[in-house]
């Protein structure tokens, strides 16, 4: 029998998200560069291979449930919402990259409401779910990753083992399923 575990959605703030990566958006600190009409703030982006820029479209799902999480070892992936599309993603802090059994427990997962005005950059090895659009029909993102991780993930979905990515299916491997709850009404409904 599968155990259903609730994870409450919370607002995205730089402080709350710090164990998982950096929030992309305006900051309350001096800009890295300021000139003319521009202000820019830097991020701690890292990549071991060749960078890829993707356009990603995630379809709305009324059931906010998941069983699979993944982590990537060679890139600090970036997701920036387009069209002010709001979404929710679940994260857990990186665990020992050399130990495939070092997976997050249910209490390690946190779900963040990303209101569409900010993006996220995940540290290497940060565990994450897919994205859950807040509203139909979908949510779109500009997405930075690396070529090797994309190729390997495609192969992993076809059943081959991976070196740059680890996937865990909690229902199949541990009899657990996760459901997102919205006690603060962040998703507007």
* Nearest alpha carbon to residue 164 among 94, 100, 71: 71
* Nearest alpha carbon to residue 113 among 16, 9, 21: 9
On average, the pLDDT of the chain sits at 93
In this predicted structure, what is the pLDDT of residue 188?
A: 82
Cβ atoms of residues 187 and 116 within 8 Å: no
Per residue in 56-102, pLDDT tens?
Answer: 999 999 999 999 999 999 999 999 999 999 999 999 999 999 999 99
Longest dimension (CA), the chain: 61
Rounded to whole angstroms, the Cα distance separating 12 from 76 reads 18
Per residue in 7-36, pLDDT tens?
Answer: 999 999 999 999 999 999 888 888 888 888
Average pLDDT over residues 150-165: 90
Q: Taking the model in full, what pTM does it have? A: 0.92
Flag the least confident range among 30-39, 50-59, 179-188. Answer: 30-39
In this predicted structure, what is the pLDDT of residue 189?
A: 59
Going from the N-terminus, what domains does the chain have, and what CATH number goes with each?
A: 3-26+43-96+103-181 (2.60.120.480)
């Amino acid at each position: 029998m599968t155990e259903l575990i609730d994870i409450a959605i919370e607002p995205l703030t730089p402080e709350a998200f710090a164990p998982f990566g950096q929030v992309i958006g305006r900051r309350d600190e001096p800009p890295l560069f300021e000139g003319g009409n521009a202000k820019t703030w830097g991020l701690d982006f890292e990549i071991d291979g060749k960078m890829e820029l993707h356009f990603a479209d995630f379809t709305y799902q009324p059931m906010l449930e998941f069983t699979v999480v993944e982590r990537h070892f060679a890139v600090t992936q970036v997701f920036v919402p387009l069209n002010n599309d709001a979404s929710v993603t679940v994260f857990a802090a990186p665990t020992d990259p050399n130990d495939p059994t070092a997976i997050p427990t249910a209490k390690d997962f946190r779900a963040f409401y990303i209101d569409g005005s900010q993006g996220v950059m995940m540290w290497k090895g940060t565990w994450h779910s897919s994205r859950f659009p807040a509203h139909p029909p979908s949510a779109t993102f500009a997405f930075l990753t690396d070529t090797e991780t994309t190729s390997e993930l495609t192969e992993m979905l076809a059943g081959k083992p991976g070196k740059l990515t680890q996937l865990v299916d909690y229902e199949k491997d541990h009899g657990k399923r996760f459901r997102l709850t919205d006690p603060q009404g962040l998703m507007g409904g």
